[in-house]
Structure 1
Amino acid sequence: MNDSKLSSRNFRSARQEAAKAAAEQQQLGEPYAGPDSSYRLAFADSEFLLSEDLRSIRLQLEYLKPEMVQREFGIDSTIVIFGSARILPPDAARAVCDAARTTGDEAAIKRAEMQLAMSHHYEQAQRFANMVTKASQRLDHNIVVVTGGGPGIMEAGNRGALEAGGPSVGLNIVLPHEQAPNPYITPELCFQFHYFAIRKMHFLMRSIALVCFPGGFGTLDELFEVMTLQQTGKVRKRPILLFGREFWTKLINFELLVGTGMIGADDLKLFHFVESAEEAWGVIEQHYGLVPNEPSGADKGRLAEDI
């Protein structure tokens, strides 16, 4: 008996149908092959898919593509690294500082010196991602670094994972100004989003921890969404680590929020301040009781499960 016949498809695949229909359409010629013709399969018609009424379908597709690819790669637990795209690697920051000093422009020198001071966060993000990836290789559970896919802290995270010999994910976003993916992301795991909401959902879906370095509006948006979801019980608790106590306490007066009753004292337990890659990994390790080469006691995928 021919088993392949028993299990063969009853219908041609969508890819086969689209190729066949496109070839037939070209043979028909005008007016059916013209750009204004509606004689196309709906799922192969980009003009139709991009129409205003199909926004809900595009939202679904933007959710499904990264979900299916990550599932195919066996990615079920991630650590997300947030932070500014403007933080430079130390060598680049040093070069900017040296160039500024030659100009004699005090304002430019001050800005460049601040960039140099902030560049240590790039080193820590790179080191932390490297530690996560190496630890994952020793653990009974696979943990993958995820970033927003751009430059700065995001680049540092993907770079650290690559240098440790592991994969990493980049969740890029289409912006008014050009944003190219950094060169350290695993190519098969580099995604591009139109919708911020779907992108932020993917940041959270598999995350077992979120590590937040200094950043601007985008970083704050991502951080506060996560804290709000945990505060309101929409997602289960997981470590939120804020790198650099001095930066964060100057930026946000958490005590004022407690003192004025805007948040409860227990809400301060939603996050931890950390100063180094080692300290950050130690918090995560302690939270989950991670022990190299020993089962964590959780089934595959449980680390990243939300309520």
Structure 2
Amino acid sequence: MSLSKQKPEPAHPHVRQVALPWKTPKPDVEDPRASALVAELLNSPEYRQADKDVAFLQQDETRGVRLQIDYQKAENLLGEHGIAQSIVVFGSTRIPEPGAARQALSDLDEQIEKDPDNAGIKTRITIARRILDKSRYYEIAREFGRVVGRAEGCDLAIVTGGGPGLMEAANRGAHDVKAPTVGMNIVLPHEQFPNPYLTPGLCFSFHYFAIRKLHFLLRARALVVFPGGFGTLDELFETLTLIQTRKIQPVPVILVGRSYWARAFDPDFLVEEGVIDPEDRDLFWYAETAEEIWQDIRRWYDRAGLRLTKDGT
């Protein structure tokens, strides 16, 4: 007998010549109850594979796992799409493009004509006029998205919370020039839709605010903050706190619209009261136009002796 005949061939990686005993369930001919009993076991939620058992994954005890996968999915996809550096843009979801703001005011004007003594409508008209005035920031945010998206030799992606209003505008500007643009939605009790100007594959839905905030700043090269409310203030103050404590390296923080921000909060008062230091007041500044924002970011990196992007631009 030759040597080759004495040695067995490698086993097939998937196929067996003879099925293993557990390949088929116990037949009913052996026990009439067998198939029903097996079916009951297979349909039991306890039998589900852990990563396919949604009810199990939603328990309090598995929160750690959920935190991990909430982080990891976006991390993997951002890496696959080559998103290594970003400029984060925040601003109100309630400030639409000028045309929509004008239409909203016009609708209210029609209502007040029919009911001229309605105090509620009058209040809404006052607010609508203010929103219309601030809708100019939509165009500034959109232009800033274009400026970043078409910058030569720049691989910065515009990243926003993915919602409507001023964040939509920044995403839309990048979309206008066919640049990749990222949206990071958060699951809320009331349904939230992403804005339509996000790059497919770069629109994420997070369960945890903490993980979402982590992803905002992991790749951030600057934070640009347009007028906004609680959510905008939350991101602004958290970023300033992280820079103040050097938990993250300093990055440019630019507040767009001095007239708005001067009323929203008073950093000079905080310095005078001794609750922040004068140097903390200098962790941010104001700008009014898209080009000014962009030039301020580039100038900050030049003065810091750092590179804005990895390729040196």
Tell whether the structures are fold-level matches, with TM greater than 0.5: yes
Q: Structure 1 pair 298/158, CA: closer, same or farther in 2 (3 Å)?
A: closer
Rounded Cα–Cα distance in structure 2 between residues aligned with 1:152 and 1:299: 28
The one of 59, 63, 70 equivalent to 1:62 is 70
Rounded Cα–Cα distance in structure 2 between residues aligned with 1:194 and 1:263: 33
Superposed, which structure 2 residues align to 1:216-255 within 5 Å?
A: 216-255=229-268
Contact 1:77 1:301 in 2 (8 A): no
Q: Structure 1 pair 81/93, CA: closer, same or farther in 2 (3 Å)?
A: same
Rounded Cα–Cα distance in structure 1 between residues aligned with 2:309 and 2:146: 25
Q: Structure 1 pair 41/133, CA: closer, same or farther in 2 (3 Å)?
A: same
Rounded Cα–Cα distance in structure 2 between residues aligned with 1:248 and 1:24: 70
Partner-residue secondary structure (3-state), 1:187: coil
Partner-residue secondary structure (3-state), 2:274: coil
2:110 is matched with 102
1:108, distance to aligned residue in structure 2 (A): 2.9
Larger CA Rg, structure 1 vs 2: 2
Partner amino acid for 1:100? L
1:4 is matched with none
Partner amino acid for 1:231? Q
1:278 is matched with 291
Q: TM-score, normalised by structure 2?
A: 0.82
Provide the aligned length of Structure 1 versus Structure 2.
Answer: 273
Rounded Cα–Cα distance in structure 2 between residues aligned with 1:39 and 1:108: 56
Q: Structure 1 pair 99/52, CA: closer, same or farther in 2 (3 Å)?
A: same
Partner-residue secondary structure (3-state), 1:234: coil
CA offsets 1:213-272 (integer angstroms, 9 cap, x no match): 111111111110000000001000100000111111111111110001110111111001
Q: Structure 1 pair 95/261, CA: closer, same or farther in 2 (3 Å)?
A: same
Rounded Cα–Cα distance in structure 2 between residues aligned with 1:217 and 1:157: 19
Partner amino acid for 2:109? R
Partner amino acid for 1:70? L
Partner amino acid for 2:150? K
> Which of the pair has the greater relative contact order for Cα pairs under 8 Å at 6+ separation?
1
Partner amino acid for 1:233? R
Partner amino acid for 2:288? E
2:28 is matched with none
Whether 2:162 is the aligned partner of 1:149: answer yes
Q: Structure 1 pair 212/269, CA: closer, same or farther in 2 (3 Å)?
A: same
Rounded Cα–Cα distance in structure 2 between residues aligned with 1:299 and 1:95: 41
Contact 1:76 1:301 in 2 (8 A): no
Q: Structure 1 pair 256/157, CA: closer, same or farther in 2 (3 Å)?
A: same
Q: TM-score, normalised by structure 1?
A: 0.83
Q: Structure 1 pair 118/204, CA: closer, same or farther in 2 (3 Å)?
A: same
Whether 2:98 is the aligned partner of 1:80: answer no
What are structure 1's unaligned runs of at least 5 residues? Answer: 1-10, 13-22, 291-295
Q: Structure 1 pair 97/37, CA: closer, same or farther in 2 (3 Å)?
A: closer
1:208, distance to aligned residue in structure 2 (A): 0.1
Contact 2:301 2:308 in 1 (8 A): no
Q: Structure 1 pair 182/224, CA: closer, same or farther in 2 (3 Å)?
A: same
What are structure 2's unaligned runs of at least 5 residues? Answer: 1-12, 15-22, 26-34, 113-120
Partner-residue secondary structure (3-state), 1:270: coil
| Aligned-pair identity (%) | 46
1:117 is matched with 133
Partner-residue secondary structure (3-state), 2:42: coil
Whether 2:192 is the aligned partner of 1:176: answer no
Between stretches 52-61 and 40-49, larger displacement belongs to 40-49
